[in-house]
Chain A
Amino acid sequence: MTDVAATALEPEAGPRLTAEERWRALRTVSRGDVIYRSVLTILALLLPLLLVLIAAELVVNAMPALSKFGLGFLTRSTWDPVQGEFGALPLIFGTLYSSLVALVIAVPLALACAVFLTEFAPRWLRTPVGTLIELLAAVPSVIYGLWGIFVLIPLLRDHLWPVARHVLGWIPVFGGVFYGPSVLAAGVILSIMILPYIAAVSREVLLAVPPSQREAGLALGGTRWETVWRVILPYGRAGIIGAVILGLGRALGETMAVTMVIGNRHEVSASLLQPGYTIAAAIANEFAEAVSDVHLSALFLAGAVLFLITIVVNALARVLVWRVARGSAVGSTAV
């Protein structure tokens, strides 16, 4: 045994050492320690390496398309595998548009859930309701898609829209004939999928607000709601914005459920009722059967754009959430 304490405190060694040497001996690290730490460090370094490799592989494979189409790739709408002409504007637009719809629906609901779970719910209700909301995140994407095709789309098309049309029909974003698969359907599905993430992270942010803030708000004569609205939510603002951006990141990269309900059409349309397409959905649909090298490369380039967007979005979210709960794994438990 090369124990730290044992070697340092050898009785015969003791008297001959000065105080400083004894300290140094105590701090000596055994060979096992060095090996243990090195092995863990090397394994931990694989993670950053993986990130770098993914980025490199995307860039390398996207190069042919990038050099052929340049930045025009981002602004053109042609997607013609036969002629070999590719522009990703509809994909980028659809990705952002469907995610925006999801945020508009999910953010108020998720924040209300977080407030409910931390402030208003009776104690016995908090754990079960919190667990149920978190379970929404455990439902596989493909099951949301299945449900979207056979339940949500018929519900929207045959029951909700015929009624809502009389009220909303004049608004341009609800223009055109509604066949079912649409940006609206994708946005609704996405909102259900990202709600648990936003709610869970906001909840942890709200829990991290010091009790003194709450007490001060109540002591000033505020009602419980006023304390929440004027004191607690503003205090956790950075973290809540982080939670929303985290949800946005999820929505941008979501693949299967969106592919199944968005209609998969390479077209830019402002109407929520029309089909659209997203980057992730295009990769899912076309990658395995890409007809030419340039088609494949264009898909890689679209993937690189998606990768870049999600990296920026997630890094931003992390920084904001960490500001509130520094370094702790807030949100990781929401997986």
Chain B
Amino acid sequence: MHGRLARRLVGSTMTGLTYGAAALAILPLAVILAMLLVKGTGSIDWNFFTKAAVPFGEKGGGFSHAIVGTLIVVGLACAVGVPIGVATGIFLAEFGGGRLGFTVRFVADVLNGVPSIVIGIFAWTWLVKPMGHFSALAGGCALGMILVPILARTTEEMVRLVPNSLREAALALGYPRWRTSLVVVVRTAAAGIVTGCLVAVARVAGETAPLLFTALGNQYFSTRLAGPMAALPLQIYVYALGPYDEWHRQAWAGALVLIVLVLALSLFARAVIRAKRQHA
């Protein structure tokens, strides 16, 4: 009986420890969100969204240039990355059975693990060096390259969820394969693909490293694609490392805006994807 008691004791202790581990894992998220709210909300006012940065010492600077910059750079990234990523995903789901499919899938997973800073220096050699100057365009392309492998895998997963009976029904009605694929299969998976895009966009919107030597950052409001452009994560980085309390305050506010943007996108997408999986 003693042995049995000891075993049960070990069992409940370890079970309790896993509860503790889960709580401990979530703790940083709670602490970070709380700190952002505490330190960030005080600095968010109308100026924050409407004004660009001002030289230190002047009052009333904001993050409008960085917010607009992030929207533009991420928009460019989508223009580059979404078509290629989604097409790759459809390829993997529809024709990905062979050796080529295996290779592409493997490369997608490997590229997914390549540090974003490496993508950044690659974009520099291809876009910044030949053009001779930093540009939002290069930043968008760098982020687009990060989007592609993520999208390829999520799109593949979503297209695979479409029941085969739908495909068979379309073929039986005399549709050629390409129309079956596009009109029936991909359209059925469209909601899932779009939410996959949202998750991926949420991820690249917070990327800083690939923008360091592509978009570079900018203290002024700029919408010129061929020139340096500010972005929220870049501005947070610069302000966090800066020497002034005023900058630190604004960095927290910027971080709050960024995390609200990112978490809203990914939570929304997660809810939709989860609903999709349960239906499939």
Contacts and interface: CB of A to CB of B under 8 A. Distances in A.
A98 interface: no
B37 interface: no
Interface residues of A, number: 102
A332 B109 contact: yes
Contacts of A6: 174
A29 interface: yes
Given A1-B174, A260-B237, 4 more contacts: A47-B111, A50-B148, A140-B206, A146-B252
7 closest residue pairs by CB, A with B? A140-B206, A253-B115, A112-B21, A314-B113, A36-B178, A225-B11, A116-B18
B91 A43 contact: yes
27 contacts: A1-B176, A30-B178, A33-B178, A36-B178, A41-B95, A44-B88, A46-B88, A48-B104, A54-B118, A61-B125, A109-B21, A110-B25, A121-B19, A136-B25, A139-B262, A140-B206, A142-B233, A143-B259, A151-B31, A151-B35, A226-B7, A252-B115, A253-B114, A283-B121, A287-B213, A307-B114, A313-B113
A306 B28 CA distance: 28
Contacts of A140: 205-208, 233, 258-259, 262
B60 interface: no
A117 B22 contact: yes
Given A40-B90, A142-B233, A318 B115 contact: no
Interface string B33-68: 001100100000000000000000000000000000
A292 interface: no
A53 interface: yes
A228 B14 CA distance: 10
A328 to B, nearest CB: 8
Contacts of A117: 22
Nearest to B271: A131
Contacts of A314: 109-110, 112-114
B121 A44 contact: no
B78 interface: no
Interface string B204-221: 011111001100100000
A53 B104 CA distance: 15
Given A36-B181, A284-B209, A335 B32 contact: no
B113 A250 contact: yes
Interface string A144-155: 111101110000
A146 B259 CA distance: 12
A13 to B, nearest CB: 15
Interface in A230-258: 246, 249-250, 252-256
Interface of B: 7-8, 10-12, 14-15, 17-22, 24-26, 28-29, 31-32, 35-36, 39, 83-84, 87-88, 90-92, 94-95, 100, 102-122, 124-126, 145, 148-150, 152-154, 156-157, 171-172, 174-179, 181-182, 199-200, 202-203, 205-209, 212-213, 216, 233, 236-237, 240-241, 248, 251-252, 255, 258-259, 262-263, 266-267, 270, 273-274
B207 A141 contact: yes
Nearest to A290: B213
A287 B175 CA distance: 54
Given A306-B115, A335-B199, A146 B28 contact: no
A204 to B, nearest CB: 12
B118 A307 contact: yes
B123 to A, nearest CB: 10
Contacts of A92: none
Contacts of A298: none
B122 A53 contact: yes
B252 A300 contact: no
Nearest to A307: B118
A57 B153 contact: no
A224 interface: yes
A306 B209 CA distance: 14
A139 B177 contact: no
Given A54-B114, A54-B118, A35 B178 contact: yes
A288 B212 contact: yes
Given A32-B176, A140-B207, A288-B212, A280 B255 contact: no
Contacts of B39: 150
Contacts of A225: 10-12, 14-15
Interface in A53-80: 53-54, 57-58, 61
Nearest to A227: B11
Interface string A21-40: 00000000110110111011
A6 B172 CA distance: 10
B262 A138 contact: yes
Contacts of A315: 106, 110
